[in-house]
Amino acid sequence: MPINKSAKLARNLFNKKDVKRLPTRDGYGHGVLKIGTKNNQVVVLCADLIESTRSHWFKEKFPERYVELGVAEQNLVAVAAGMAIGGKIPYITSYATFSPGRNNEQIRTLACISDLPIKVIGSHAGVSVGPDGATHQALEDIALMRVLPRMTVLVPCDAVEAEKATITAARINGPVYVRLAREKTPVMTTSKTSFKPGKANIFWRGSDVTIIACGPLVHEALLAAKVLESKKIKVEVINNSTIKPLDEKTILSSVRKTKAVVTVEEHQVNGGLGSAIAELLGKKLPTPIEMIGLQDRFGESGEPEELLKHFKLINPHIIQAVKKVIRRKR
Amino acid sequence: MGYIHDKKIKKLEVIATDIRQDLIKMLLEAGSGHTAGPISLADIFTALYFHVLNHKPKKPNWDGRDRLILSAGHLAPIRYVAMAYAGYFPKKELMTLRKLGTRLQGHPERLALPGAETTSGPLGDGIGQACGIALAALMDKKKFRVYCLMSDAEQQAGIVWESAMFAAKNNLNNITAIIDRNNIQIGGMTEKVMPIEPLRRKYQAFGWHVLEVDGHNIEAIVDATEAAKAIYEKPTLIIAHTIPGKGLKEMEFDYKWHGKPPKKDEAENFLKELRTLEGKIKSEHE
């Protein structure tokens, strides 16, 4: 099997019944508790979503370092900026539609122009938020954050990687955005899987098409890879958990080999991961690309699985895109 | 620094007039920027930088300093002139305002100029940052005070009230906010554009201690900042009533001077007017 052994992925990855399922927001909750235990400058600020963002685990242990803002996402950033100027490392938590959605100007001015170590934790990203509907499903947050100078953008693929991203964020001396999801999703990585900001990770090796994915949909990309293997189509699956700065080296060396790309994200294809890859390839290695993601439309209410299918974000759609891009190869 | 004596008041009044002259000169050189607001704040900034603030201009990052957050970034020129007079940087640097490569950005940037404390420009963002600095100081048992200068029109921004609630909830009595109540904004009189009154009662209802002063009376300004230090468990707001363009008859009360710099002939007239102000004349031919 062409799974990349050096990635040290979970063995039960393809076992539908056995694979462990956790929401990436849990990974943040555990991660911030760990980094907060090590570093007493870490503070957590939340805009009245303490339990659903999993910030309550930190509050239970460090109530004196937890700050409640109420429903005030603009002030969430302003207070965090002040605390960062005062030497703290603030993690600010809310739903991604509100933060970095509603408070985009404050993030631009107070976190990025001022270059402060504010860690923006945006939970409930993607259509998999489910029944809450379009207003609560963040689908533009990657675009909003990756266009900001000085901002690092991390989209962990599972709860284990989310924990690592949360811990690592404190060591980045500047603003960081970490994108999280509400739903339980398969845990693909293990404590031994390497995670470095700015480093993409090859999960599955192949030479026909490069699938570049981020977030929990990396699992769908792996499922697609497995099905395609049986049809003698060899794809390479890259977990691109850092959208910015992009790991140009890993991506370009894979695409030089495959000469065709499919991007996969639970986000608008305009401005997100797909755009970031297209910008890179357009400049350095023009290559046919198909993009899986929201095609310039909003989400709606429904069950998470129904919505992923409805918006064509899962493995049968990835397989179709792979076949399509192969036909476009020169 | 404590209450102020008559002799020092006289000295500060002279400084405030000199500061107004440098403001006119730097805005003329810059060719863009706001005039009336900075001019009307000359007395308050003189009081702050020459009496109220505990600071070391040669050590702008000294940890024990009082923090002055300028929320309304367009008022930057008055802060820059006051900082130059206080000794943060040479006065000749004032002529670089708004020019390529300058530390004196059109709206202040924290990374560009030590002592600027925060980045400001989009209105309303300062008081929340002041809250964050004040809260971190309380966590770390630091004794400095946080001052935050806001404009009056800024009170129309929702974030200001988010921050006002936050300051009261957390009993941030180490904050003294000052509102420059000069009644004008870029599009006209504040009460016509979008009324902000009753300002005093609004802040009181939000849990603040509120004082009102004549923003051109240095003694009153100093006394109010002293009184604020004695307030327990509440942040204090000083509403400073000022006259836009104060000291320059043509500019006073005229909102057209909010967002533009003087032209050369206008600047000469303004400078002459400032040089000959009653009782504060140094030399008509300076």
Nearest CA in chain A to B160: A75
**Looking at CA atoms only, how far is residue B17 from chain A in angstroms?**
33
Other residues' Cβ atoms within 10 Å of the Cβ of residue A49: 18
Cα distances (angstroms) measured from residue A63 to each of A38, A48, A190: 16, 15, 30
Amino acid present at A181? A
Q: What CA–CA distance (Å, rounded) separates A236 from A216?
A: 17
pLDDT at B1: 67
Q: Considering only CB atoms, which chain B residues are within 8 Å of A72?
A: 159, 162, 165-166
B1 falls within a domain: no
Q: What CA–CA distance (Å, rounded) separates A188 from A191?
A: 10
Task: Tell whether the model's pLDDT for residue A330 goes beyond 90.
Answer: no
Mean pLDDT of A159-180: 98
Spell out the residues 6+ positions from residue A53 whose beta carbon is closer than 8 angstroms to its own: A25, A28, A29, A46, A93, A94, A95, A121, A123, A180
Q: Which domain holds residue B68?
A: 6-275
Q: Are residues A82 and A227 both part of a single domain?
A: no
- Give residue-wise pLDDT tens across range B238-261: 999 999 888 888 888 888 888 889
B217 falls within a domain: yes
B157 falls within a domain: yes
Q: What CA–CA distance (Å, rounded) separates B4 from A327?
A: 83
Q: Are residues A175 and A308 both part of a single domain?
A: no
Which residue among B111, B125, B166 places its CB closest to the CB of A106? Answer: B125
Nearest alpha carbon to residue B22 among B104, B123, B109: B104
Do the strands B175-181 and B236-241 form a parallel or antiparallel pair, or are they unpaired?
A: parallel
Cα distances (angstroms) measured from residue B190 to each of B72, B127, B186: 15, 20, 9
Whether residue B90 is preceded by a cis peptide bond, meaning omega within 30 degrees of 0, is: no
Q: What CA–CA distance (Å, rounded) separates B224 from B240?
A: 10
Among B67, B113, B117, B139, the residue to mutate for chain A (most A Cβ within 10 A): B139
Which residue among A72, A81, A109 places its CB closest to the CB of B132? Answer: A81
Of A128, A158, A186, at which residue does a domain stop? A186
pLDDT at B256: 84
Q: Considering only CB atoms, which chain B residues are within 8 Å of A90?
A: 132
Angle at A32 between CA A27 and CA A38, to 5 degrees: 130
Q: Considering only CB atoms, which chain A residues are within 8 Å of B111?
A: 113-115
SS3 (DSSP) at A61: helix
* A:B CB pairs within 8 Å: 105
DSSP state letters, A111-144 = IIITT---EEEEESBSGGG-TT-GGG-B-SHHHH
Binding-site residues on chain A for chain B (CB distance < 8 A): 43, 64-65, 67, 69-70, 72, 74-75, 77-88, 90, 105-106, 109-110, 113-115
ipTM for this prediction? 0.95
- Sign of the alpha-carbon dihedral angle for A283, A287, A288, A294: negative
Spell out the residues 6+ positions from residue A242 whose beta carbon is closer than 8 angstroms to its own: A152, A153, A154, A155, A197, A198, A199, A200
Of A143, A170, A186, at which residue does a domain stop? A186
Q: Considering only CB atoms, which chain A residues are within 8 Å of B133?
A: 82-83, 85-86
Q: Please indicate whether, in this complex, the C-beta atoms of A81 and B129 are within 8 angstroms of each other.
A: yes
Q: Are residues A178 and A203 both part of a single domain?
A: no
Cβ-contact A128, A266 below 8 angstroms? yes
Q: Please indicate whether, in this complex, the C-beta atoms of A82 and B110 are within 8 angstroms of each other.
A: no
In chain B, the number of structural domains is 1
B285 falls within a domain: no
Do the strands A119-123 and A66-68 form a parallel or antiparallel pair, or are they unpaired?
A: unpaired
In chain A, the number of structural domains is 2
**Looking at CA atoms only, how far is residue B99 from chain A in angstroms?**
18
Nearest alpha carbon to residue A172 among A86, A122, A101, A244: A244
Q: Are residues A167 and A202 both part of a single domain?
A: no
Q: Considering only CB atoms, which chain B residues are within 8 Å of A110?
A: 118-119, 125, 129
Concerning whether A73 is annotated as a catalytic residue, the answer is yes
Cβ-contact A201, A251 below 8 angstroms? no
Binding-site residues on chain B for chain A (CB distance < 8 A): 109-111, 117-122, 124-137, 139-140, 158-159, 162-163, 165-166
Q: Say which residue, A174 or A16, is predicted with more confidence.
A: A174
CATH at A15: 3.40.50.920
Q: Please indicate whether, in this complex, the C-beta atoms of B109 and A113 are within 8 angstroms of each other.
A: yes
Q: Which domain holds residue A42?
A: 21-186
Chain center to CA of A215? 4
- Give residue-wise pLDDT tens across range B95-152: 999 999 999 999 999 999 999 999 999 999 999 999 999 999 999 999 999 999 999 9
Nearest CA in chain B to A69: B166
pLDDT at B247: 82
Mean pLDDT of B20-28: 94
SS3 (DSSP) at A60: helix
Q: What is the DSSP letter of A201?
A: E
pLDDT at A38: 98
For residue A150, what are the β-bridge partners? Answer: none
Chain center to CA of B199? 18
Q: Please indicate whether, in this complex, the C-beta atoms of A82 and B163 are within 8 angstroms of each other.
A: no
Q: Considering only CB atoms, which chain A residues are within 8 Å of B118?
A: 81-82, 85, 110, 114
B189 falls within a domain: yes
- Sign of the alpha-carbon dihedral angle for B200, B201, B203, B209: positive
pLDDT at A157: 98
Q: Are residues A130 and A266 both part of a single domain?
A: no
Nearest alpha carbon to residue A144 among A216, A56, A244: A244
Q: In the structure, what pLDDT confidence band is assigned to residue B196 with cuts at 50, 70 and 90?
A: very high
CATH at B65: 3.40.50.970
Q: Are residues A33 and A170 both part of a single domain?
A: yes
Q: Say which residue, A73 or B269, is predicted with more confidence.
A: A73
Which residue among A75, A85, A113 places its CB closest to the CB of B163? Answer: A75
pLDDT at B234: 97
Torsion angles phi and psi, residue B70, rounded to 5: -95, 105
Which residue among B109, B131, B162 places its CB closest to the CB of A82? Answer: B131
Q: In the structure, what pLDDT confidence band is assigned to residue B279 with cuts at 50, 70 and 90?
A: very low
pLDDT at B277: 60
Do the strands A184-186 and A176-179 form a parallel or antiparallel pair, or are they unpaired?
A: unpaired
Q: Please indicate whether, in this complex, the C-beta atoms of B158 and A79 are within 8 angstroms of each other.
A: no
Nearest CA in chain A to B63: A86
Number of alpha carbons in the 13 Å side-chain half-sphere of residue A233: 22
Q: Are residues A179 and A275 both part of a single domain?
A: no
B282 falls within a domain: no
Q: Please indicate whether, in this complex, the C-beta atoms of A86 and B132 are within 8 angstroms of each other.
A: yes
Q: Please indicate whether, in this complex, the C-beta atoms of A114 and B128 are within 8 angstroms of each other.
A: no
**Looking at CA atoms only, how far is residue B166 from chain A in angstroms?**
7
Q: Please indicate whether, in this complex, the C-beta atoms of B131 and A105 are within 8 angstroms of each other.
A: no
Q: Please indicate whether, in this complex, the C-beta atoms of A83 and B137 are within 8 angstroms of each other.
A: no
Q: Are residues A280 and A270 both part of a single domain?
A: yes
Q: From the candidates A64, A73, A161, A300, which is the catalytic residue?
A: A73
Residue with tokens 């402060």, as numbered in its chain: A116
Chain center to CA of B70? 7
Q: Considering only CB atoms, which chain A residues are within 8 Å of B71?
A: none
Q: Please indicate whether, in this complex, the C-beta atoms of B140 and A86 are within 8 angstroms of each other.
A: yes
Nearest alpha carbon to residue A78 among B107, B45, B148: B148
Q: Are residues A138 and A203 both part of a single domain?
A: no
Long-range contacts made by residues A227-232, C-beta under 8 angstroms, separation at least 24? A227/A315, A227/A319, A228/A319, A228/A322, A229/A1, A229/A2
pLDDT at B280: 53
Q: Which helix (H) or strand (E) holds B250?
A: none
Q: Considering only CB atoms, which chain A residues are within 8 Å of B166?
A: 69-70, 72, 75, 79
Buried residues in A294-328 as b, exposed as e (16+ CB within 10 A)? beeeebeebebeebbeebebbbebbbebbeebbee
Spell out the residues 6+ positions from residue A5 whose beta carbon is closer than 8 angstroms to its own: none
- Give residue-wise pLDDT tens across range A1-39: 699 999 999 999 999 899 999 999 999 999 999 999 999
Buried residues in B134-148 as b, exposed as e (16+ CB within 10 A)? bbbbbbeeeebbbbb
Mean pLDDT of A201-222: 98
Q: What percent of chain B has pLDDT over 90?
A: 82
Q: What CA–CA distance (Å, rounded) separates B115 from B58?
A: 10
Nearest alpha carbon to residue B93 among B152, B22, B42: B22
Cβ-contact A67, B135 below 8 angstroms? yes
Of A129, A151, A186, at which residue does a domain stop? A186
